[in-house]
Structure formats: C-alpha cells, structure tokens
Amino acid sequence: MNVLMISPGYPADMPEFARGLAASGARVYGVGDQHIGGLPELVKQSLSKYVQVSSLWDSKRVIGELSERLRGHQLDRIECLWEPGIMLAAELREHFGVPGLGVEHARLFRDKEAMKVALDKAGIRTPRHAAVDSVAGCWTAVENIGFPVILKPIDGAGSADTYRVTSREELRAVLPRLRHVPLISVEEFIDGEEYTFDTITAGGEIAYYNVAWYRPRPLIARSNEWISPQVIALRDVDDAELADGVKMGFDVIKALQFDTGFTHMEWYRKSDGEVVFGEIGGRPPGAHQVDQMKYACDFDVFKAWGQAVTQGRMEERFERRYNVATIFKRARGVGRITRIEGTEALQARFGEHVVWNTLLPPGTPRRDWLKTLVSDGFIMLRHPDLEETMAMADAVGSELQMYAE
C-alpha cells in the first residue's frame, strides 16, 4: 500500500507515526515544506520518497507538485495527523480519488459549529452554541446563551484564543483580543471535570480507546502561569463514573461516520453526573498524549494506528497496566533557565516510576508558556494505582521548581 503522509517531520511526534506506517508494511511517501536534510533521521528511515513543496498551504501548488513528482505511483491512502493540514488532506483525497475524509466530511472535524449541529441532530448533548463573525453577533449570542460563556475559534486547536467570560465587562475586554479570528464559537460554559476520549478506528469500529483526565481543565491551566498542568491517562477506563462519557464517544464516531484513523475528543462530566460533549478532531491528541498510551499499555500505539490505516484492522495486542501522568513545568522568572530544584529528592522517591524527563537544562531560554503546551518540559510517570499516580504527580507539581532569569 502506498500512503502519502503530510508533514512527516513536524510536529514532534510525527516521525513515530511515519515509522508506524512503515512498520505496518506501507510504502510511505512524505510531503512537507521542510528540506529533506532537516528531517529527523527516523523520518528519513521510514520514507520511500519525499516531496518538498514551497508551502503546504497552497493546495493547488501542492497538488501540482505531487502530480509531477509522484507520476506513475498510485496513492492508496493520504494521512495527516496535524490539525492545520486536515483540510489539505481532504482536498488531496478528492483530487487523487483516495478513500477517507473528503472536504465536506472533514469540515465536521474542523468547524466546531458544524460539528455541534451534526451532533445535536444525533441527540448528543453539546453546550448551547452559536457561530458569529462580528462583535454585534457575539453580543447577541451571549445574550441568548447567558453568562458564563466560552469564546473560541471555530477551527482552532487546543485552548489557544479561548476565553471564559462571566460578565459584560469581561466581554468588552476580551473581544479586541479576538479581532484576528474570523469566526468565533460562542458556547455555554460547562462547569465540570474535563476528559478526553481518544480512538484508533478501523472500518468505523473502535479498535482501541484511551481516556485521559485534565488536572485542572486546560482553560484554567492556560490562565494561571503558576500551575503545573497534569494530564493523566487512566488505566480503569471501565470506571462507572466514565461510562456515560465513553458511550458518548462511541456514539460520536457513529454519528459523524468516522471510518479509519485517529480521533481526539474532549468531554465534560458535571457534578450532577451529566456528561456533555466538547469537540472532536480527526487526528491524535498533542502534548505527547499518544506516548502516554504507549506507556499505559506497553504497546506500539504508532504501529497499531499504521495497521488500522493499511490493513483495516489493529493487530497489536495491549493490556491496560498503568495510569500515566504527565506534569508540565513552567519556570519562574524570565530569560534563561538558571536552576532546577527538587529533582534529586523526587528521583530518589519515584525514580522507578518515571518514564520520561524532558525538563529544559540550565542555560536554555525559557519558553513562552502561553504559546506552548509542553511549557519548559515535563515529567512523565506511571503507576498501576490511580491514587499513587496522583500523589506522585502532585509532588512533582509542588516540589519540583524551575527558575529563570
């Protein structure tokens, strides 16, 4: 099978997906705007051919260059696991006659308003919502929905440009910050715990799923610099408190007729037990949550996805053995990292449970915490018991400190 992969070298986990395709027996063709010399070595090893284009965002030129460079090669699948490229992949599928999400279908996974309208029709509970393209429209939508509301880009990813607004005064203050966003979703604010439902789907059937818990929910984490956000991939996905959310995830896959690939969903559980759907992307979660799945089940999740794409089934076997917590750290101060405190003591206590440490070393410039999910690095750890996992994660959050100046 010949599989075209869009942007195999970026973001950071794309090389593993390229490897997963190759390990599943695919002949992998890559297309991107990176020079081939700048591709990670793992990508170079996984690709049979690479087409460099001047820009991934000029679809007509991409189609022209691919038609020229891949003449004589039939494409069986076109895959993109990066949010900005979802619609490009859909256009390419339609042009080359390749199965998968076409343009109109793909919009249901990019346009938050169209997504929620489709799910409303299927009887799936979503926040009350409206799409607006003007200040006046925003005011009208807020009046109809009522405070508090969430404002977010219709085709955004993650929690960038997302605001919780509780009053008319806050709305006046926030609207100027969204002038660069052409279309905004105004939604009912759902007060509750926030979870993910992530799937590998083959032929419309869910072959594997993961449930992760945000501590705290991303909107709070992105509003308070001092917080060390946590994401915990849960071992016990059959917990009764998750059952309605899991069922809703299965219902969403059916309602939106998603066939094959990775999906990332977010949903809420309110204090009264009601579950409310957030959104879905036709791609995996970011911030190394796919690596969490790998460590939670001790299996090659990237190859498992590759098998779903190339064979229509997932052959990799897995066992849910661990809860996996990722704790993202933000340095105090500005400038370069000068010191990290608490690592030795925590390593002595939890070292056997730590599976990954990406903390920026002293001398490295601190990252802008508002523009990156991984902040100044993270600690990833695992344990079979959820309470123990949470205790270790909280200790890393409070006792490990990074400083910059």
pLDDT of residue 158: 58
Cα separation, 87 vs 192, whole angstroms: 32
Please state the rounded mean pLDDT for residues 153-169: 82
* DSSP summary character for residue 37: G
* DSSP summary character for residue 165: E
| Range list of H helices, 122-167 | 135-145
Contact 306, 312 (CB under 8 A): no
Cα separation, 73 vs 172, whole angstroms: 55
Placement of tokens 């993202």 in the chain? 328
Contact 80, 5 (CB under 8 A): yes
154 — pLDDT class (breaks 50, 70, 90): confident
pLDDT of residue 219: 86
Q: pTM for this one?
A: 0.92
pLDDT digits (tens, 9 = 90+) for 253-298: 999 999 999 999 999 999 999 999 999 999 999 999 999 999 999 9
112 — pLDDT class (breaks 50, 70, 90): confident
pLDDT digits (tens, 9 = 90+) for 79-98: 999 999 999 999 999 999 99
Q: Where are the beta strands (DSSP E) in 291-385?
A: 323-328, 337-341, 354-357, 378-383
Please state the rounded mean pLDDT for residues 197-201: 98
